[in-house]
Amino acid sequence: MSNTKSLLTIQDLHASVEEKKIIKGLNLDVKAGEVHAIMGPNGAGKSTLGYVLSGRDGYSVESGSATLDGKDLLEMETEERARAGLFLAFQYPVEIPGVSNLEFLKASVDAQREARGEDAITSAEFLKEAKAACKQVNLPVSFLKRGVNEGFSGGEKKRNELMQMLLLKPKLCILDETDSGLDIDALQVVAEGVNSQRSADRSFIVVTHYQRLLDYIKPDFVHVLSDGKIVKSGDASLALELEAQGYAWLQKEPAEDELEG
Amino acid sequence: MSEWLDSAIARAQGIDDWLAPKRAHALDLLAKTSWPTRKTEAWRYTPLRPVERSTAKAITDTVTLLPTAIADFSAIELVFANGRFDASQLESNLPEGLSVSLGRDLTEAEQSAALGVFSTIKPERHIFGLVNDALAEDVLVVSVAEGVQIDQPIRISSLLSEGAESHTRVQVNLAAGSSLTVIEDVQSHGDSLLTAFVEYQVAANAILEHYRFALQTGNNIAIGGSHFNLLDHAKMHSTIVGFGSDLSRLDTDIIHAGKYADAKLNAMYLLDGKELFDLHATVEHASPNGTTEENVRCIVADRARAVFNGRIHIHPDAQKTLAELNNRNLLLSDKAEINTKPELEIYADDVKCAHGATVAQIDKQALYYLQTRGVSRARAQVMLNFGFINELIDLMPNAALAEWVRPMIRERFLQMEVN
């Protein structure tokens, strides 16, 4: 894999939320086709990383860089980052009553097609794709007509996120605690969906507090994020070690050098 | 005093018909009413200059005007052309249990019953309601017999030629246990002036589904009211859709006269240019165990002005009332104006009552969420802000009407500029 080019490169990233420093010198290199897990205790900055990379209002980058496919992510608007191939699956997907799921999904797909210079997809063609995606994530087709995430259970929201990923076909997917609030069956559906999307040109960053998800989505690398930086990197076995020992032993150690991609 | 009102009073004085005592009473009250100004609370944000300057005149020639066609929708058509009921457009075979008749054609006993309702549901404080009492050519009386469910909707269309002044008046009586759907619509062609008032008597256990569309724009003046009296266990569901005009004013009054009555009122208005739309909605909870749910949502662009006054009055006997009033507004321009005033007056101690009004709140989380999927900020704003209107369209019980009005509203919204 070392010959493959980098898809995401983050260098010495410092970022804050409401003037509070959360990310404090983070380095990460994700090559095409790789799956990276980021684990860490609560408050380490795991979710913040996704928000910073997607350009959420209120999350400001103080220094450092982040590039996707060689393009400067931090200079782009949120929607431009999405069109460049970044996808963030939310821990708490937002409910939008009054906007139907189908309308939302089609607007997303069309926006990205437009950015690639393609025509909007026809409604009939899109409906076919959306129904297939529903089936794949095990959501009733009636969910397409409902308001975005409106009244969905936790598991349904996560599957809806996954459905968006299937339809948008991003280059880099950040899954932010996708396992939280899921029972084992729902977890398997989500993991199968993610695994079906693994390919040589698509990468994943799986952010999770627990090792359990990684039984189903096998990572190539595991990183421990603590106090805003990566303090340890390893292969999948690191996750098991963390499961057994917790995070406390790592937080006392001095920061190590980051992964070798 | 205004010249317009003087002229209206003068014209009314010559009329002598079965409504004479009611007309005389209205004229008495008008003589004691001063012409509203900016200091008149009910008209504070709605200046009457367009009425004062109006050149609209009553048109006595008979003209044929046709109501708007709506896809997948067929109604029993009650058409007023320039204020005159056009009986030729009424189908001859009405469903059993439904009667439609001008007051002058009723029997004396029926007239006396109609007089017993006339102007008892519509409060006397509405000055243009009094003008309508005095000037309406007649009253169209619609009645549904006890226990009868009328499946086909009734549409009352007030249609106006260019330059026409007209006054239409309808009374709808739902006997106990009956049900009916009524659509009130207005179509006008410029420089027109209309007053249109409908009173609804909804007897015990009766169910009324109601719509009022005020989609005429431009230099038209439309002032009117829909007034409802609900007896025990009566139910009503009303939807109001308004685009503004030089002057559009609607007064609704919902009276919970009986216990366990249930009222839902959803109103949406979208205003552009220099349009004005003023909705005064009053709910009187006079009996116990009533429920009211009222949603009013409004988008205002350019230099348009929206007025909403939502009053809920819970009388001392109206224990166990549940009433909710929610008003959400979105301003798209610095020069647009929204005047909203929820008023709760509660004189019973065992009630649940809530109200809220918000202006121009865009859900930033939702905006961000849409953007993370590649949707531009501008498009996301449209999607989100149409959503709060769309929710109310989704609540319209009649799907054909919802799908007729939805693209019109959406089109209007897409043409509005954000500045």
In a domain, A106, yes or no: no
Using CA atoms, how far apart are residues A33 and A1, in angstroms rounded to an integer?
A: 9
pLDDT the model gives residue A243? 82
pLDDT the model gives residue B90? 94
In a domain, A207, yes or no: yes
pLDDT the model gives residue A186? 84
pLDDT the model gives residue B359? 84
Cβ–Cβ below 8 Å for A99 and B376: no
Cβ of A151 under 8 Å from any chain B Cβ?
Answer: no
Residues of B in contact with A77 (CB under 8 A): 371, 377
**Is the pLDDT score of B128 beyond 50?**
yes
Q: Whole-model pTM?
A: 0.70
**Average pLDDT of span A70-89:** 96
**Residue A88: which CATH number?**
3.40.50.300
In a domain, A102, yes or no: no
In a domain, A139, yes or no: no
Residues of B in contact with A96 (CB under 8 A): 363, 366, 369-370, 384, 387
Q: Which amino acid is at A139?
A: L
Q: Which residue of B has its CA nearest to A97?
A: B387
Using CA atoms, how far apart are residues B155 and B136, in angstroms rounded to an integer?
A: 19
For residue A242, give its domain range: 6-92+170-252
Name the percent of chain B lying above pLDDT 70: 99
Whether residue B200 contacts residue B156, with contact meaning beta carbons closer than 8 Å, is answered with no
pLDDT the model gives residue A259? 43
Coil, strand, or helix at residue B42? helix
In a domain, A143, yes or no: no
Cβ–Cβ below 8 Å for B376 and A79: yes
Best CA proximity match to B164, nearest among B194, B186, B196: B194
Q: What is the pLDDT of residues A21-33, one digit of tens each?
A: 999 999 999 999 9
DSSP code for A74: G
Residues of A in contact with B371 (CB under 8 A): 55, 77-79, 82
Distances (CA, A) of A213 to A223, B275, B339, B354: 15, 57, 53, 45
Burial class (CB in 10 A: 0-12, 13-18, 19+), B329: buried
**Average pLDDT of span A129-152:** 94
Q: Which residue of B has its CA nearest to A148?
A: B366
Distances (CA, A) of A137 to A141, A160, A182, B83, B133: 10, 8, 14, 59, 63
Q: Structure tokens of B294? A: 């009222």
Q: What is the pLDDT of residues B228-271, one digit of tens each?
A: 999 999 999 999 999 999 999 999 999 999 999 999 999 999 99
**Average pLDDT of span A234-261:** 70
In a domain, A239, yes or no: yes
In a domain, A71, yes or no: yes
Q: Which amino acid is at A71?
A: K
Q: Which residue of A has its CA nearest to B369?
A: A94
Report which of residues B32 and A253 the model is more confident about. B32
Q: What is the H or E stretch that residue B135 is in?
A: helix B127-135
**Is the pLDDT score of A257 beyond 50?**
no
DSSP per residue over B262-275, as a string? EEEEEEEEEE-TT-
pLDDT the model gives residue A98? 78
**Is the pLDDT score of A253 beyond 60?**
no
Best CA proximity match to B114, nearest among B124, B123, B104: B104
Name the percent of chain B lying above pLDDT 90: 85
Q: What is the H or E stretch that residue B227 is in?
A: strand B221-230
| pLDDT level of residue B307 (50, 70, 90 thresholds) | very high
Q: Structure tokens of A28? A: 């990460």
Number of domains in chain A: 1
In a domain, A125, yes or no: no
pLDDT the model gives residue B382? 77
**Average pLDDT of span B190-200:** 96
Residue A8: partners with Cβ closer than 8 Å, 6 or more residues away: A28, A29, A30, A66, A67, A68, A172, A203, A205
Q: What is the pLDDT of residues B146-187, one digit of tens each?
A: 999 999 999 999 999 999 999 999 999 999 999 999 999 999
Residues of A in contact with B414 (CB under 8 A): none
Q: Report the complex ipTM.
A: 0.92
Cβ of B389 under 8 Å from any chain A Cβ?
Answer: yes
Q: What is the pLDDT of residues B365-399, one digit of tens each?
A: 998 999 999 998 878 877 888 888 988 999 999 99
Which alpha helices (DSSP H) does chain A contain, by range? Answer: 46-54, 78-83, 101-115, 123-136, 154-168, 184-197, 212-216, 237-245, 248-252
Scanning the structure block, which residue is given the tokens 């019953």? Answer: B113
Best CA proximity match to A165, nearest among B372, B247, B245: B372
pLDDT the model gives residue A251? 64
Q: What is the pLDDT of residues A167-223, one digit of tens each?
A: 999 999 999 998 888 888 888 888 998 999 999 999 999 999 888 899 999 999 999
